[in-house]
Amino acid sequence: MSNTSKYDVGNGIHRVPTWRIAGYVLNNTATNLYLFMMNFIAYYYSIN
């Protein structure tokens, strides 16, 4: 493999751009916030 490969065979590391890591983090955060808000709404809706 060439030196520009995104996969380092020697130690098994995958190289990705920083924006992809940030996108993954933001997607995970958005999903968690959505689930929290829906649980919050469902909890108070079930009380009434």
pLDDT at 2 over 70: no
User: Hey, where are the domains in the chain?
Assistant: 18-47
CA distance 15 to 37: 34
pLDDT at 35 over 90: yes
Please report the pLDDT score of residue 10 as a whole number. Answer: 76
Apex 33 CA angle, 22 and 14, nearest 5: 25
pLDDT at 12 over 90: no
For tokens 């649980």, the residue is 39
Please report the pLDDT score of residue 30 as a whole number. Answer: 98
- Tell me what the mean pLDDT of segment 33-44 comes to: 96
